[in-house]
Structure 1
Amino acid sequence: MSENFSANLKSLCAEHGSISQICRDIGVNRQQFNRYLNGSSLPSAHNMRRIARHFDLTEAELFAETTSFERMLKGVLPQIGKTPTDAFLDPFLDQQKNLRRYVGFYHSYFCTPSWEGKIFCSLIRIQEVEGLITIRSREIATSPDKSTHQISRYAGLVTMRGNRIFVTEHELAREGSVANTILYSAHRQQLKYLRGMTMGVAWRPYPHPYAAKTIWKRLHERVSAREAITACGIYPIQSNKIDPTVRKHLTEA
């Protein structure tokens, strides 16, 4: 039983990334956690419950026979009555506990081939709707010579795996594109900036896929909707309107 627990815990850690981050998220000592991993010690009842809750498992499942546990992790156990839509939505269900603290408005900053040498700022809203964590985005940009005006709107879903936030959006236009973003917070208690990568389709000079660094800056509650929308657009990289933290993330190698 203890051997199963140790092996299963190692598998979970392999799926969820940094062991140090896992320890911080659960609230257990790293040295003690290492004893759980090498099988020299079992958690107390209190810590066992905390570990199970963190990985969204039951305590009994943590002691399951290792082969069965691995199959469960890979999602190959029969899922009777599940449709392809159900399977797609599964990662986005029951995410309120993980993501409720991220609900709010953000400015998203990234560099795109559509506006070479510029920083693009768009408006993001994360909210909880009928048990799902949803996202809506608005992109507004006008070329310096006023000859090109871009307005794009996206809607999608948000989930968290380990300490990474995964966003999938689709453009609210006929045959619009699909965009994917992966974000992380530098520290669990730090919510002002979310850093990561985004992948989408540039819309000019011709449509083609691209991937770029992105950083989201949380907006203060006192910022009005009009102010948030007005700030959207394209900026020179050295513009004094660009937060230095934003510029550093987007321009450093």
Structure 2
Amino acid sequence: MTDDFRENLRFLCAEKASTAQVCRDIGINQQQFSKYLSGRSRPSANNLRRMARYFGLEDRELLGSHTQLLSSYRARTATLRERRQDPLATVFPGDLARLRPFLGAYQVYFQAPVDPTGYVVNCVFLDERNGVVYSRLIEALADPALKRRRWTRCDGKVSYQNGRLFVVDSERKNENALSMHILTPPPRQKRQYLFGSMCFLASMPRRMPYASKVVWRKFETYRPVRDLFKSCGIYSAESLRLDPVVRKYLSGQMGEETGLL
């Protein structure tokens, strides 16, 4: 590992509150991290990736020349200075280190606006780009008039603040209507779920404000994404395909399994 890597790491850590805080945020042993700073040890590929992501860099940037990293850092700082003129610039992504574990694909469940006895199932993807976490929600509902599925896409940003996830997105059609999800991570034993509420403009029967409880359920990464798209639609509250934990939360039966009592 080159001296540039050591200098890059020292420079980036100097911009943080403390090296100990950096280690806690990344989840890396402080004694081992000190060896990286001194040049006495080289990080594994996994630790290198974790450190690079924490500082908002690519692996090659962290390993690259110190001169190039300084140039890139100054350019990024200038961009951040411009962003601070926006009152919401510091809101997204909020606590990025705590937000990263939630990256991935989810099934989204909420009460159907057009059918109080049914639940809509959408899918959403969270991914990180340039230090910001973005959301991409896909809705695919049957349209009897067209005899095919009606697809809707919403793109947005995700923030982690005060132990909660805030997702604000915009529908690509319908004059870019906005929606918001506020989600609370559950206890460790139910960590595949996010429980909360959402508000948006319902497409049917007319564009009216609507609010519902919502559950996000983590999708297993070993299953193909096409299975996630197939799961989209409207389900009866009694459907056997509906997750029992999801049904209990959306129906107002907030038992211990939701962690929201």
**TM-score bucket (shorter structure):** 0.5 to 0.7
1:95 to partner: Cα distance: 3.5
1:133 to partner: Cα distance: 0.8
> Where do residues 142-157 of structure 1 align in structure 2 (5 Å cutoff)?
142-143=142-143, 149-157=149-157
1:148 to partner: Cα distance: 7.5
- Structure 1 residues 245 and 99, CA gap change in structure 2 (3 angstroms): same
- Structure 1 residues 90 and 251, CA gap change in structure 2 (3 angstroms): same
1:143 to partner: Cα distance: 4.9
In structure 1, the partner of 2:162 is 162
**What is the rounded CA distance, in whole Å, between the counterparts of 1:147 and 1:199 in structure 2?**
28
TM-score by length of 1: 0.63
**What is the rounded CA distance, in whole Å, between the counterparts of 2:207 and 2:105 in structure 1?**
28
SS in 1 for 2:175: coil
SS in 2 for 1:153: strand
SS in 1 for 2:221: coil
> Where do residues 78-93 of structure 1 align in structure 2 (5 Å cutoff)?
86-93=86-93
Amino acid at match of 2:163: N
- Structure 1 residues 83 and 114, CA gap change in structure 2 (3 angstroms): same
> Where do residues 56-135 of structure 1 align in structure 2 (5 Å cutoff)?
86-93=86-93, 95-135=95-135
Q: Is the 8 A contact 1:166 1:180 kept in 2?
A: yes
Deviates more, 1:171-180 or 1:130-139: 171-180
CA RMSD of aligned residues (A): 2.5
Q: Is the 8 A contact 1:199 1:209 kept in 2?
A: yes
SS in 1 for 2:88: helix
> Where do residues 154-193 of structure 1 align in structure 2 (5 Å cutoff)?
154-173=154-173, 175-187=175-187, 190-193=190-193
Q: Identity over aligned residues, as a percent?
A: 28
Q: Is the 8 A contact 1:140 1:232 kept in 2?
A: yes
In structure 2, the partner of 1:196 is 196
**What is the rounded CA distance, in whole Å, between the counterparts of 1:244 and 1:146 in structure 2?**
32
Q: Is the 8 A contact 1:123 1:229 kept in 2?
A: yes
- Structure 1 residues 180 and 160, CA gap change in structure 2 (3 angstroms): same
SS in 1 for 2:229: helix
- Structure 1 residues 211 and 106, CA gap change in structure 2 (3 angstroms): same
The superposition leaves residues 8-31 of structure 1 with CA deviations (integer Å, 9 ceiling, x where unpaired) of xxxxxxxxxxxxxxxxxxxxxxxx
The unaligned stretches of length 5 or more in structure 2 are 1-19, 26-80, 254-261
- Structure 1 residues 83 and 158, CA gap change in structure 2 (3 angstroms): closer
The superposition leaves residues 108-131 of structure 1 with CA deviations (integer Å, 9 ceiling, x where unpaired) of 000131344211000110111111
1:204 to partner: Cα distance: 0.9
The unaligned stretches of length 5 or more in structure 1 are 1-48, 55-80
SS in 2 for 1:87: coil
Q: Is the 8 A contact 1:154 1:171 kept in 2?
A: yes
SS in 2 for 1:175: helix
- Structure 1 residues 186 and 103, CA gap change in structure 2 (3 angstroms): same
1:217 to partner: Cα distance: 0.5
Q: Is the 8 A contact 1:112 1:210 kept in 2?
A: no
1:144 to partner: Cα distance: 6.6
- Structure 1 residues 89 and 99, CA gap change in structure 2 (3 angstroms): same
1:240 to partner: Cα distance: 0.6
Deviates more, 1:146-155 or 1:236-245: 146-155
The superposition leaves residues 50-83 of structure 1 with CA deviations (integer Å, 9 ceiling, x where unpaired) of 7xx89xxxxxxxxxxxxxxxxxxxxxxxxxx766
**What is the rounded CA distance, in whole Å, between the counterparts of 1:171 and 1:249 in structure 2?**
26
**What is the rounded CA distance, in whole Å, between the counterparts of 1:114 and 1:140 in structure 2?**
15
Amino acid at match of 2:98: N
1:96 to partner: Cα distance: 2.6
